[in-house]
């Protein structure tokens, strides 16, 4: 058709004389005077006079944006161009407009007339109709310099307006402006074919209606807002949970803190990752944040969840400062803060359990001594006689052994292997990170009475060993699943550190054996 009316839509066919696997023509030249309602692509094969012809065809459904003499411009693709087409667009008669207005009309609702940059705007579009129709289509909502998120599918229902029963198509969107100034939301187009009640077999009467555009003032971020991520919202809540009570912490033992932020009118990806203040005596190993979005009648509700392992490095009372997140309350139009209050934790020494056990053993020994002192004196003479005989036998055996034993034997050669080191070696061979940490900690406690791996690092002051221990903690508590942690590296680092420094009275100067022999 070369002549149409202002509410009409028509099809434009673009053919390319080859098969196209991907890509499409540049259609931006059409958008000056026409709205692209729909587009489809099809690859065609045809046989004509024994010859096979293949081509790709794009079918576009267009609607004019204004009246008058318009030109469908040439469209290019891969070196080929279409021809220009002249189209005359006539104004729709008022009588027809009035008739359509009775049959179809739009109602647009906005939850606010002004907002801030990146603030949520709820846009509700309702298309009312009073006649039976077929092939209904609604154009896709697009807003320049804004993010448009559909809130569910198109709803269809019936209602009563001024005593008249009417059908409704309803769509809801959350719109987030990216720039300050005036944001124009273009009116959408509805097209359908009105059914001829007298002839059900006819194609019907085509109708189209376009909603009026709406405008919203978008304000820039306030100058008074602090240097922090910009969070315009109606409500933001922050909460946390801990894997242990505050009074059950122990040096070297990790505690997991999970922080959750929930925001109305913001997506989860807009929420910041937490950066906690540095606290003397604590080490942080943060995990990756998880983001989620939900939508309902109030729009988008985003949330973020971040877990981090906290490892105390010293005992005593430690204050964890409060966490404050600034955000802009859109309802009250003012700056507010979401706050996690400060908390005080009590950290016990890692060796406290060992000391308690030793104290109990000492008390038990004292009790035995008291009981022995109360025994009858008649057994004293028998005990002395037995003891003298035992000492005499031991001295005889010692002198006989001295005559036969080589003088070059090292006492360490007959010493039993350290059980914790054997377990540690096995864990390193298996690359069992949890087992490595536990057995290394047990060995440090037994050998040096150290309560944490940090203290072990300080004891040796060996860079390679310190790095290996940090890599182990990072692997365990930071969720570094792609970490290059290797148990053999830690074992070799420990072996070299022991060789340099010596291990004290129990292991002596004997080096650790290689991990694999």
Q: What is the CATH number of the domain that holds 176?
A: 2.60.40
Q: Does residue 143 lie in a domain region? A: yes
Residues 196 and 284 in one domain: no
Residues 71 and 152 in one domain: no
Give me the torsion for CA of 348, 351, 352, 353, rounded to 10°: 120
How high is the pLDDT of residue 391? 61
In this prediction, residues 492-515 reach a mean pLDDT of 65
Residues 103 and 83 in one domain: no
Residues 105 and 142 in one domain: yes
Minimum mean pLDDT range among 183-192, 209-218, 272-281? 272-281
Residues 144 and 189 in one domain: yes
Name the percent of the chain lying above pLDDT 70: 79
Examine the fold and report which residue of 91, 126, 160 is the final residue of a domain before the chain moves on: 91
Q: Does residue 99 lie in a domain region? A: yes
pLDDT digits (tens, 9 = 90+) for 11-28: 899 988 777 767 788 888
Kindly provide the residue ranges of all beta strands, DSSP E only, lying in 211-315, ordered along the sequence: 214-219, 232-233, 235-242, 249-250, 255-264, 282-286, 290-296, 299-312
How high is the pLDDT of residue 393? 54
How high is the pLDDT of residue 507? 45
Contact at 8 Å (CB) between 249 and 310? no
Residues 56 and 23 in one domain: yes
Average pLDDT over the chain, rounded to an integer? 80
Residues with Cβ within 8 Å of residue 417, at least 6 apart in sequence: none
Kindly provide the residue ranges of all beta strands, DSSP E only, lying in 426-497, ordered along the sequence: none
How high is the pLDDT of residue 73? 92
Q: Does residue 18 lie in a domain region? A: yes
> Nearest 5°: phi and psi at 387?
-65, -45
Minimum mean pLDDT range among 236-240, 287-291, 341-345, 356-360? 356-360
> Residue 452 sits in which domain range?
417-501
Which tops the pLDDT comparison, 364 or 345?
Answer: 345
Total count of residues recorded for the chain: 517
Residues 340 and 315 in one domain: yes
Residues 213 and 307 in one domain: no
In this prediction, residues 389-403 reach a mean pLDDT of 55
State how far the Cα of 169 lies from the Cα of 128, in Å rounded to an integer.
7
Examine the fold and report which residue of 348, 381, 404 is the final residue of a domain before the chain moves on: 348
Looking at the DSSP bridge assignments, the partners of residue 61 are: 11, 38
Judged on CB neighbours under 10 Å (0-12, 13-18, 19+), 142 is exposed
Examine the fold and report which residue of 348, 365, 398 is the final residue of a domain before the chain moves on: 348
Kindly provide the residue ranges of all beta strands, DSSP E only, lying in 130-253, ordered along the sequence: 133-138, 146-150, 155-161, 164-177, 181-185, 189-194, 205-210, 214-219, 232-233, 235-242, 249-250
Residues with Cβ within 8 Å of residue 170, at least 6 apart in sequence: 124, 125, 126, 127, 154, 155, 156, 157
Contact at 8 Å (CB) between 280 and 337? no
Contact at 8 Å (CB) between 25 and 75? yes
Judged on CB neighbours under 10 Å (0-12, 13-18, 19+), 288 is exposed
Q: Does residue 372 lie in a domain region? A: no
Residues 209 and 100 in one domain: yes
Q: Is 358 helix (H, G, I), strand (E, B) or coil?
A: helix
Number of domains the chain contains: 4
Which range, 1-15, 72-86, 369-383, is most confident?
72-86
State how far the Cα of 421 lies from the Cα of 184, in Å rounded to an integer.
72
Residues 196 and 281 in one domain: no
For residue 302, give the nearest of 229, 220, 231, 225 by alpha carbon: 231
Which tops the pLDDT comparison, 436 or 20?
Answer: 436
Contact at 8 Å (CB) between 459 and 498? no
63 falls in which pLDDT band (50, 70, 90)? confident
How high is the pLDDT of residue 57? 87
């Amino acid at each position: 058709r070369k002549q149409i009316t202002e509410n009409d839509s028509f099809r434009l066919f673009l053919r390319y004389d080859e098969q196209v696997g991907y890509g499409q023509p540049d259609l931006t030249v059409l958008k000056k005077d026409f709205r692209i309602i729909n587009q489809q692509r099809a690859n065609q094969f045809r046989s004509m006079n024994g010859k096979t012809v293949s081509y790709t065809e794009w079918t576009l459904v267009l609607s004019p944006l204004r009246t008058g003499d318009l030109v469908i411009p040439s469209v290019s693709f891969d070196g080929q161009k279409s021809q220009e087409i002249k189209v005359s667009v006539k104004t729709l008669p008022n009588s027809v407009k009035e008739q359509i207005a009775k049959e179809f009309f739009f109602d647009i609702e906005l939850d606010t007339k002004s907002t801030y940059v990146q603030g949520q705007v709820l846009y509700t579009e309702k298309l009312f109709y009073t006649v039976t129709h077929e092939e209904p289509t609604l154009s896709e909502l697009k807003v320049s310099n804004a993010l448009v998120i559909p809130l569910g599918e198109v709803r269809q229902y019936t209602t009563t307006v001024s005593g008249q029963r009417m059908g409704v198509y309803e769509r809801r969107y959350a719109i987030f402006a990216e720039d300050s100034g005036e944001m124009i939301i273009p009116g959408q187009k509805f097209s359908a074919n009105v059914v001829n009640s007298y002839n059900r077999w006819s194609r019907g009467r085509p109708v189209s209606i376009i909603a009026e555009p709406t405008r919203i003032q978008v304000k820039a971020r306030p100058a008074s807002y602090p240097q922090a991520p910009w969070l315009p919202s109606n409500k933001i809540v922050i909460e946390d949970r801990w894997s242990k009570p505050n009074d059950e912490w122990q040096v070297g033992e990790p505690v997991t803190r999970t922080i959750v932020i929930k925001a109305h009118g913001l997506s989860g990806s807009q929420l910041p990752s937490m950066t906690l203040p540095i606290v003397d005596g604590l080490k942080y190993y943060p995990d990756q944040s998880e983001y989620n979005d939900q939508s309902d009648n109030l729009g988008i509700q985003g949330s973020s969840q971040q877990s981090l392992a906290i490892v105390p490095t010293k005992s005593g009372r430690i204050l964890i400062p409060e966490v404050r997140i600034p955000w802009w309350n859109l309802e009250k139009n003012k700056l507010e803060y979401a706050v996690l209050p400060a908390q005080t934790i009590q950290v016990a020494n890692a060796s406290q359990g060992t000391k308690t056990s030793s104290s109990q053993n000492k008390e038990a020994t004292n009790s035995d001594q008291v009981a022995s002192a109360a025994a009858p004196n008649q057994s004293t003479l028998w005990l002395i006689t037995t003891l003298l005989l035992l000492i005499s036998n031991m001295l005889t055996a010692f002198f006989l052994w001295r005559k036969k034993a080589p003088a070059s034997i090292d006492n360490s050669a007959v010493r039993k292997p350290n059980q914790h080191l054997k377990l540690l070696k096995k864990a390193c061979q298996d690359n069992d990170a949890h087992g490595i940490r536990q057995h290394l900690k047990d060995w440090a406690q037994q050998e040096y009475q150290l309560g944490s791996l940090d203290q072990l690092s300080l004891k040796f002051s060996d860079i390679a060993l310190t790095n290996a221990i940090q890599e182990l903690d990072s692997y365990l508590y930071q969720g570094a699943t792609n970490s290059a942690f290797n148990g053999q590296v830690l074992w070799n680092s420990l072996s070299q550190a022991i060789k340099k420094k010596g291990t004290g009275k129990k292991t002596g100067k004997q080096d650790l054996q290689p991990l694999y022999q």
